Amino acid sequence: EVQLQQSGPELRRPGSSVKLSCKASGYSITDYLMHWVKHRPEHGLEWIGWIDPEDGETKYAQKFQSKATLTADTSSNTAYMQLSSLTSEDTATYFCARHDGTYYYHDYWGQGVMVTVSS
């Protein structure tokens, strides 16, 4: 059974950084691209970017270019997203979601991780 298990909720101070994890099971992460999506109830869903775990290639939405860094560890079948220089605007739930390069949709999503940025 395919599962994407994300790490637990995070509380951070403004200006700090956080690294979120997304552990895949039931398939090899090198077989799919991994995307990250931001959700704030008043803003809906925002696409952050994707990583190809097979070769580390990444692509980001322009507004997240200097905010997010996507990496992957194939030995642990885990994808990561680091968010830097946190502000209150980064308070949100973050999802990882996989994408088959043949079918253009996200068929499996992680459960989401809540990041709260507060002093």
Q: How many CB atoms lie within 10 A of CB 84?
A: 14
Rule CB under 8 A: which of 17-46 touch other proteins? 35, 37, 39, 44-46
Instruction: Report strand pairing: 33-40 vs 92-99.
Output: antiparallel
Rule CB under 8 A: which of 47-106 touch other proteins? 47, 59, 61-62, 95, 97, 103-106
By C-beta, is 101 or 119 nearer to other proteins?
101
Q: How many CB atoms lie within 10 A of CB 94?
A: 25
Q: Is 112 in the site for other proteins (CB under 8 A)?
A: yes
Q: Is 107 in the site for other proteins (CB under 8 A)?
A: yes
Phi, psi of 104, deg, nearest 5: -95, 75
Q: How far apart are CA 105 and CA 99, in angstroms?
A: 6
Site residues (CB under 8 A) for other proteins? 35, 37, 39, 44-47, 59, 61-62, 95, 97, 103-107, 109-112
